[in-house]
Amino acid sequence: MERNLLKFIWKNSRLKQVWLLFVIIASMPFYFLSLELPKQIINGPIQGRNFDAIDATQPFLRLTLPYGEAMFGREIELFGGLQLDRIEMLFALCILFMGFVFLNGWFKLYTNTYKGKLGEEVLRQLRYTLLDRVLRYRVARFRNLKGAEVASVIKDEVEPLGEFVGDAYSLPLFLGGQAITGLLFLFLQSVYFGLLTIAIVAFQIWLIPRMRRKLILLGRQRQIQARKLAGQVAETVDMAPDIHVNDMSNYTRARHYGLLQNILDIRFELYQRKFTVKYVNNLLMQFLSFLFYLIGGYFVITGRLDIGQLVAVIAAYKDLPGPIKGLIDYDQIRLMNEARYEQTIDSFRDDGLIAPELQTMPPQAVPRLEKGYDLDHVKLDDETGRTVLENVRLHIKPGDRMAIVTRGDDAARTAASVFAGALVRLVLPAAGTILLDGKAIDDHPESLTGRRIGYADGNTYFPAGTIRDNLLMVLKNRPTDESQRGSTAKRPTTAGMLNHVPPSADSEWIDYEDLGVGGKAGLDAHVARVLEVAGLTRQIQDLGLRGTVDPAKNKEFADKIVEVRHEFRENAASLGVEGIVQSFHPELYNSQATVGENLLFGTALDPAWAPNELPRNPTILAILERNGLRSAFQEMGQRIAEARIELFGDLAPDSKIFETVADVTYEEIVRLKEIVGRLKMAERQEPQRQEAAPKGKKGPQKLSDRDEVFRLAFDYCEAQSRFGVLDAETEAKILAARNDLRGEIGGMAEAPVFFHDPDRYNPTASVLDNILLGRVSSTVVDGKEKVLAAVQELVARTGISDGLLQAGLSFEMGNGGRRLSDQQRQKLHVARALLKKPDIIVFNEVLGAMDAAGRREIMTRLIDGPLQDEPDFRPGFVVVLLDDDLAERFDRVLTYSNGGFVETERKADEPQPHAIADAAK
């Protein structure tokens, strides 16, 4: 990368910088004229110069040929101007002055907007260049790299550079032009004022930069400390479980506070020096103002200077401190940004970057592997530099199935892991050569190794996104649109001379032809087969059951779910779930649902109608009042609170009962005791206290004790709690209130609730809730498990498995993929390696989070035939085994011994042991 900031800016924006300089130069004459006009207005029409007679006139806008007298011996008049009297001239000059004010303002508006856009464009290029370097780092570099620090540099530390880019060349010219114009004008009015100004300005230019040198060093220190803080915060987030388990929270706070204190000390010293420099700079400029008033006033009094000239000088001086101060500030900003830029470049310096041509998108399809690997006298070191393998000589054909047996030995596992990493360029050999199809593997482009070699290990990290996004990411290697392919692909850009930009991420990046599938439908079928092999199908379908589907985008699937709902109700007995699910019925109270669910009888489309907001929803409160339920709910909440206190109030904080009872915690019981105690005391003090319904005020408010008790009634379910506080009469009133509420909402322009309807799909509810449209009985042992099993059986029988799988693939995995279990994430890594149909798949101790039996089942499916519906797909395997007994299913077996591998190979005519066993069965 270019180390000089100004050269980097010029290289990436020179055409626009030239245009900006041209605009600024073009604005200078108008700025000069705006300084000259006030003098002409005062000396001309105001003081009456050249208007001695009453009807005297003067020419306005008279134009002569520049240097005409010198060239032709006489003045050459181009335009005689308009003859105006004194009043007319006053108006004309003032209007002309305002015209120049508007014009100068427009120049500033245009140049500032242009500079802002230009700065953002070059900043985009700088960030993209830094990201490009990160993508070209060797894997070993990432092991000592903190992602938060890299993100901090790219996002925050280079941000001020964008503000400087537009000013890099234009600002010194603009300010310098204004300063020179102002000084020239001062010299034309008075040589003394011009010399005096130059003397003060020269002293400023000498003094201020020397006072600011320390600011640059402090700025660098602040940048380094802020980068460390970003890294520490990221570490804290990543190791949060360890911090809590090992009681390290206080030590972590101490570490953060120490760093924050360092930043405070640096910034305080920075502010002290910064404002001291500002004070001195302003003092010098005000001292010059003092001299102007003193000396100028003396010259006017003594007749050496007329009042118009003094006013013009003061007007010009009024604008002079800005450009002078701006030039001094520019020099400081330039030095600080150059230091920031150099520090950024040093942070991203790496002499071992991957060559850019190895990441170039190929213009044609990537060929299949033919020869495979050839390892000749390869020596491999681990991350500590210790040699783990020496003199490795192997040939691995694309169709070979090779196992590496470690027998649980740490040295063998380390050696095998390093060897597997070397096959996919995660580890570079310390000596010897690794050839792939007769060419050094490090000389192959990533387009070949990334598509023809699959790899998975015990890693469980995934970026935030859906399962589908993360699964298909390995297939997005190049755009299918030929105009977008290659590193020279060009798209419209506004970044000056920059035309080398990547293709649009919104293009179609999956090459269905190369993958051997027929469009998106074929890809979906391929994904389904891969997930089945990886043991993920049922788990992703379960996620689909708990997810939501937009019927506007998938009406066919939504309609099918409604059909499954009816089939579930009709076949409940044959499915073994009769009486377990109590369906929602518009005329019946659902005893397995809460009071709030029965009242609303639907799901909220508006946050104000969410379950936790119902107790203070004005419409709900008004309907409860009309149906005589307001006081009933208040009394019910009081009895619920007292019942909970009676049952759980004497338990210890660590009682196991709190773990078995839903929605009841020790802290909640303590809080209820305090609330009930305060209410009873208030009743004794005010026995005649009248109920007052809560007002429907906007915004979050702290609930009163009565409101807290009132809220308990909405979350109460008699079938679960059995406190006996809900009788048939109250249930009937709730049903009446439900009908009242439905009528009230029906009159609204936009319904805030989607009511339960057996013939409609609810877009706000999960797929499972849409199928059940009811609540599972809390009195049936393992009721939820039985219902889920029945639903899964029905799903398989009714042919909506594929739709459910697609719904599950839309599940958001969360940051790092943490919403999925370790097992699921490891399976997903295996599925990604298989999905792209590579010629050789390298598995490095995969599925370690699974039990041995489950792992063997998946590995057996993978080795014996990855995709049953695609018999032509028979990749080679290099597998570092966690279960050594699986070695019998491989053609070649490597065993670690004395720093090397010893190979045993099954004879060509010798059947595999598992094949003999299968035949006997």
**Domain extents for the chain?**
1-136, 152-349, 373-485+496-511+814-920
Amino acid identity for residue 826 in this structure? Q
Q: Report the CATH architecture of 152-349.
A: Up-down Bundle (1.20)
How far is C-alpha 187 from the chain's CA centre?
57
- What pLDDT was estimated at residue 824? 93
- Cβ contact 166:116 at 8 Å: yes
| pLDDT (0 to 100) of residue 697 | 44
Check residue 7 and give its pLDDT: 86
Q: CB–CB of 615/714 below 8 Å?
A: yes
Q: Name residues whose C-beta falls within 8 Å of residue 337's C-beta, 6 or more positions apart in sequence.
A: 5, 160, 161, 164
E strands in 625-714: none
Q: How far apart are CA 31 and CA 845, in angstroms?
A: 74
pTM listed for this prediction: 0.74
Residue 140's H or E segment, with its range, is helix 139-142
Query: What per-residue confidence (pLDDT) applies to 68?
Result: 65
The amino acid present at 194, given as its one-letter code, is: G
Are residues 652 and 670 in contact, defined by beta-carbon separation less than 8 angstroms?
A: no
According to the model, what pLDDT value does residue 910 have? 53
Judge contact between 59 and 82, C-beta under 8 A: yes
What's domain 1-136's architecture? Answer: Orthogonal Bundle (1.10)
Q: Which amino acid is at 103?
A: L
For 444, the token pair is 């192959």
Angle in degrees, CA 752, 758, 763, rounded to 5? 45
At residue 492, the pLDDT reads 44
Q: DSSP state, 480? A: S
547: left (phi over 0), alpha (psi -120 to 50) or beta: beta
Three-state secondary-structure class, residue 885 = helix
Cβ(761)–Cβ(551) below 8 Å: yes
- Predicted confidence at residue 629, as pLDDT, reads 92
Distances (CA, A) of 330 to 52, 126, 169, 327, 419: 50, 21, 10, 5, 55
Distance, in Å, from the CA atom of 311 to the CA atom of 300, rounded to the nearest integer, reads 11
The Cα 390–Cα 896 span in angstroms is 11
How many helices (DSSP H) and strands (DSSP E) are in the chain? Answer: 35, 18
Q: Is 212 exposed, middle or buried, given 0-12, 13-18 or 19+ CB atoms closer than 10 A?
A: buried
CA terminus-to-terminus distance, the chain: 67
Class of domain 373-485+496-511+814-920: alpha beta
Contacts of 722 (CB under 8 A, 6+ apart): none
- What's residue 921's pLDDT? 36
**Nearest in space to 2 (alpha carbons), one of 147, 161, 214, 172:** 161
Report how far residue 893's alpha carbon sits from residue 880's, in angstroms, rounded to the nearest whole number.
10
Vertex 461: Cα angle to 455 and 467 (nearest 5): 85
Q: How far apart are CA 176 and CA 757, in angstroms?
A: 75
Mean pLDDT by 10 residues, the chain (921 residues): 83 86 84 78 78 77 69 73 82 88 88 86 85 83 75 79 81 76 69 74 75 74 77 72 69 79 83 79 74 78 74 65 71 79 81 83 86 92 89 91 90 92 91 92 90 90 88 87 51 45 79 86 90 91 89 89 91 88 92 93 91 91 92 92 89 80 81 88 64 45 80 90 90 94 89 92 92 89 88 85 90 87 93 91 92 90 75 86 89 88 68 41 36
C-alpha distance from residue 809 to each of 132, 284, 518, 548 (Å): 30, 69, 20, 11
